[in-house]
């Protein structure tokens, strides 16, 4: 067991991966264990090593850690480990990261959180198919179950502050109240048009939170001063009219309006929760243009609960929403750099533990970037996530001496979203593999 300890001892021993933290988490979870090769401490640290090395196979992990044990023994120890242990370690890591990130610059004195959804694939097993389901239009045996993830990340540090998961067809807005439950009054949540609804703003307001979102796609917006709302018009003239009522003009394409609660209760709210939603709230609507050479001028309409136009100018809000793109690159770091796009376990409990391990390692990397940013006197979001992960993977004992690569500052950079390297053009599977074998006359060798 010395080899495992030598591998993970190179990581920060004062972090949530210390023996005392892991054993405390086990005791709080009511987990009893025997002294063996794969005790909870070794198991958690091996899970961290596995993610650091690109979510490698369990067999490869044994070679990386230099362990003369079978991969099956490790899988059994991971199965014995309670999920609450990983949850506690992530909370400790997040609290440690929160203390470190409090020194970072805030936007107008507010902590800004970005929210967005993503997905990841997993093995095609009956248990996972039943829990997470196949994407629409995919026949059984021709695709893989997909897990929907909702992420809440810190704008200044990139840290994951909250996350949840569910079936692939879960709408982002359904679980938003879950990931936002631990935020502090005065925090600002920034997201795309999926979150710019009256119900979401009302939930944020009840929690003392603020929001900046792109306007929901079905919302009508009219910037004419004094224009009537659909509520003030006869039924035959309401089509195409905004439901909100005009209050006053704050600037060019910038106005204050009163929005009203929809009549129909959303399915993700209980009747009691819907009754606590206020009947009306004041919001701010604004529109700005993005001009790109060679392209049509794009218009972006935002809705926000930041109503003071003097404190929060239109340009400031447009710049803040542009920074929302950081969560897209953060999710890319999770899915492509860390290989979260495809999970390996074949059970619901297994993929859930795998997801928690990814969050633990991701925040470990972000915490290392914060420390490196302070040492190199640069914004941690300018540092290379991939380079930091590489240092933690190969020489973590030198983390405090190595200078992390600093990405160039290229505000407003835009590149065409195309793929240069060609991929193999095999046909997609539209029928189960066994059916295809029969059609081609292929007989399986069962000897």
Given a contact cutoff of 8 angstroms between Cβ atoms, the answer to whether 142 and 431 are in contact is yes
Structural domains in the chain, sorted by start = 93-330 (3.90.350)
According to the model, what pLDDT value does residue 362 have? 95
pTM, two decimal places: 0.91
pLDDT in tens, 58-70: 999 999 888 888 9
Least confident of 82-96, 187-201, 325-339: 82-96
The distance in angstroms from the start CA to the end CA of the chain is: 39
Q: Which of the four pLDDT bands, split at 50, 70 and 90, describes residue 422?
A: confident
Structure-token match 């004041």, residue found: 282
Which residues, including other chains, have CB under 8 Å from residue 280's CB and lie 6 or more apart?
A: 258, 259, 260, 261
* Six-digit token string for 69: 């044990």
pLDDT exceeds 90 at position 150: yes
Alpha carbon 292 to its chain's center: 29
Which residues, including other chains, have CB under 8 Å from residue 422's CB and lie 6 or more apart?
A: none
According to the model, what pLDDT value does residue 446 have? 64
Given a contact cutoff of 8 angstroms between Cβ atoms, the answer to whether 304 and 215 are in contact is no
Element (H, E) at 254: strand 254-260
Q: What is the mean pLDDT of the chain?
A: 88
pLDDT in tens, 287-345: 998 876 655 558 899 999 999 999 999 999 999 999 999 999 999 999 999 999 999 99
pLDDT exceeds 50 at position 2: no
pLDDT exceeds 70 at position 100: no
- Segment 360-387 shows an average pLDDT of 93
DSSP code for 333: I
Among the listed residues 351, 371, 403, the one whose alpha carbon sits nearest the alpha carbon of residue 127: 351
| DSSP H helices in 103-257 | 126-132, 176-179, 198-206
């Amino acid at each position: 067991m010395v080899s495992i300890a030598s591998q993970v001892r190179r990581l920060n021993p004062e972090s949530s991966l210390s023996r005392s933290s892991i054993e405390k988490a086990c005791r709080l979870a009511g987990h009893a264990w025997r002294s063996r090769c794969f005790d909870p401490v070794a198991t958690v640290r091996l899970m961290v090593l596995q993610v650091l090395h690109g979510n490698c196979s369990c067999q490869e992990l044994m070679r990386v850690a230099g362990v003369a044990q079978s991969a099956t023994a490790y899988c059994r120890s991971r199965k014995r480990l309670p999920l609450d242990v990983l949850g506690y370690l992530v909370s400790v890591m997040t609290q440690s990261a929160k203390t470190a990130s409090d020194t970072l610059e805030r936007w107008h004195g507010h902590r800004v959180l970005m929210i967005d959804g993503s997905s990841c694939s997993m093995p095609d097993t009956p248990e996972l198919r039943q829990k997470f389901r196949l994407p629409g239009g995919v026949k059984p045996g021709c695709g893989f179950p997909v897990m929907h993830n909702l992420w809440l990340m810190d704008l200044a540090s990139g840290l994951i502050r909250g996350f949840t998961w569910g079936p692939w067809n879960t709408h982002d807005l359904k679980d938003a109240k879950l990931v936002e439950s631990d935020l502090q009054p005065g925090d600002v949540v920034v997201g795309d048009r999926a979150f710019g609804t009256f119900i979401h703003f009302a939930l944020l307001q009840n929690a003392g939170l603020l929001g900046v979102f792109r306007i929901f796609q079905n919302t009508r917006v009219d910037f004419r001063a004094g224009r009537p709302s659909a509520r003030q018009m006869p039924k035959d003239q309401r089509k195409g009219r905004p439901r909100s009522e005009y209050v006053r003009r704050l600037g060019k394409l910038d106005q204050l309006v009163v929005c009203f609660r929809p009549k129909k209760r959303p399915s993700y709210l209980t009747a009691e929760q819907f009754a606590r939603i206020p009947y009306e709230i004041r919001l701010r609507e604004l529109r700005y243009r993005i001009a790109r050479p060679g392209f049509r001028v794009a218009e972006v309409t935002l809705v926000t609960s930041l109503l003071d136009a003097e404190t929060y100018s239109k340009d400031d809000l447009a710049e803040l929403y542009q920074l929302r793109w950081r969560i897209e690159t953060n999710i890319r770091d999770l899915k492509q750099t860390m290989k979260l796009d495809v999970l390996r376990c074949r059970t619901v409990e297994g993929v859930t533990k795998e997801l928690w391990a990814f969050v633990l390692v991701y925040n470990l990397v972000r915490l290392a970037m914060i420390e490196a940013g302070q040492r190199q006197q640069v914004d941690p979001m300018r540092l290379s996530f991939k380079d930091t992960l590489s240092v933690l993977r190969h020489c973590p004992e030198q983390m405090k001496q190595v200078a992390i690569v600093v990405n160039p500052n290229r505000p407003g950079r835009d590149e065409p979203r195309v793929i240069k390297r060609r991929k193999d053009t095999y046909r997609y599977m539209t029928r189960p593999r066994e059916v295809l074998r029969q059609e081609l006359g292929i007989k399986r060798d069962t000897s």
